[in-house]
Amino acid sequence: MYRQTFPRYGAQRGAVLIVALVLLLVLTVLGTASMRDTSMEERMAGNFRDHSAALQAAETALRTGEEGIANATTFGSLLFDGTDGTYIVLSTSSSVDPQTAGNYGQTVASSVLTDGNGKQLVSAMPEYYIEQLPDIELQGSDISEGAGPPVTLHYYRVTSKGYGVSPKTQVLLQSTYFHWNGN
């Protein structure tokens, strides 16, 4: 006959249970820390994507403004009186405040920042304004022919504001554009 023997009750101390609980605690701490790090990386990636979208939108508006200055037909329609987002800055006046929303009178066409299905890729279309800065007259010179006629440089500053996927994300960019009355 087979007889089964059991260890004595007093000989068991529960060491395996304590070791298992300690290992479970360590694994729980590692898992929680890993989830927190992953969540932080996901938020950072989302913020980077949002900022990149705002930067690209602002760059699009900046280039649109510069093209408007370079295009004679578009340039001829600009009023430079403040009503259409174009201003004249005199040597006695100050620049336009880029933080004031009412100063932006020009927007980029909505079709520029949309996906293939017509869905807008940013929270709002980028906008810009153009300032005509005081002209600078330079004395012309040419080494082969001596001093030439004076050259007048016409300066313009384009300020653009782009929005990201979130309306809280905004990027401001400025560029200075000039052309002259000569060649």
Give the lowest-confidence range in 9-18, 76-85, 110-119, 164-173: 9-18
113 band by pLDDT with thresholds 50, 70 and 90: confident
User: For residues 88 and 2, what is the distance between their CA atoms, to the nearest angstrom?
Assistant: 108
Instruction: Quickly list DSSP for 76-93.
Output: HH---SSTTSEEE--TTS
Arithmetic mean of pLDDT, 100-107: 91
Residue of higher predicted confidence among 118 and 164: 164
Residue 179 binned pLDDT confidence (cut-offs 50, 70, 90): confident
Whole-prediction pTM: 0.76
Q: How far is CA 125 from CA 64, 69, 111, 117, 134, in A?
A: 13, 20, 10, 17, 30
Per-residue confidence band for 181, with pLDDT thresholds at 50, 70 and 90 = low
Taking only the tens place, the pLDDT of each residue in 2-60 is 777 766 666 667 788 889 999 999 999 999 999 999 999 999 999 999 999 999 999 99
Does 77 have pLDDT greater than 50?
yes
Dihedral sign for Cα 34, 40, 44, 47, please. Answer: positive
Distance CA 82, CA 134 (A): 16
